[in-house]
Chain A
Amino acid sequence: DTAVSQTPKYLVTQMGNDKSIKCEQNLGHDTMYWYKQDSKKFLKIMFSYNNKELIINETVPNRFSPKSPDKAHLNLHINSLELGDSAVYFCASSQGFGRAGTDTQYFGPGTRLTVL
């Protein structure tokens, strides 16, 4: 059983399109995250939700909109895709109810987005 799963694994699309990436965790965690990993492997947090509430919202273009229908799912919708959005996007989850800052985060396998 996959703990944190993402779909699709690969996404190739044209500039200007709108696309979504889905994430699901079956660990019973309260907190979920979206990270962007660029071509140099640098990993940066984008968003975090705790029990469907947005708790981290980094400086990300408003073309990116996370949606959490329930605490097991956190989807990422991207409007008007640009070349610079090409990256690997990772979803992660953590317990979210211990002391803040101490959680182990469990990562999904990633979605490689290529914008042409």
Chain B
Amino acid sequence: AQSVTQLDSQVPVFEEAPVELRCNYSSSVSVYLFWYVQYPNQGLQLLLKYLSGSTLVESINGFEAEFNKSQTSFHLRKPSVHISDTAEYFCAVSDYGGATNKLIFGTGTLLAVQP
């Protein structure tokens, strides 16, 4: 069975500081990896995803994540955060070669950006 671990439930950080949100997964098969973001009182939106190819993937708003197969990790980073980045961030996996688009989510990390 697959699982996703986000060890940090909350990450407080000052504006313009760098941040890393950690994600580790467990799976007996290859996986696809996703980061979704949930702004207050909204649904989730895709931030970025790793399907294949380059292990470093980027989003349009400055976030990046690196797939590390040996460490089974997919940590999310941003070199300089803004107040508007305050949100809940969810890491998720789906089966490579599975029959459906079933996503297994982590428990989320609240990124709290302070002025």
Contacts and interface: CB of A to CB of B under 8 A. Distances in A.
Contact of B43 (A40, A90, A96, A104): A90
Given A105-B46, A109-B43, A41 B101 contact: no
A108 interface: yes
A31 interface: yes
The 5 closest A-B pairs by CB, nearest first: A107-B43, A101-B94, A103-B101, A107-B44, A43-B105
15 contacts: A42-B108, A43-B44, A56-B100, A90-B44, A94-B101, A101-B31, A101-B32, A101-B98, A101-B100, A101-B102, A104-B46, A105-B46, A108-B43, A109-B42, A110-B42
Nearest to A43: B105
Contact of B49 (A41, A43, A104, A109): A104
* B43, B97, B99, B108: residue with the most chain A Cβ atoms closer than 10 Å: B43
A44 interface: yes
Contacts of B97: 100-101
Nearest to A95: B101
A57 to B, nearest CB: 11
Interface residues of B, number: 26
B88 interface: yes
Contacts of B95: 100-101
Q: How large is the interface on A (under 10, 10 to 19, 20 to 34, 35 or more residues)?
A: 20 to 34
A48 B101 contact: yes
A102 to B, nearest CB: 5
Interface of A: 4, 31, 40-45, 48, 55-56, 90, 92, 94, 96, 100-110
Highest count of chain B CB atoms <10 Å: which of A43, A92, A102, A107: A43
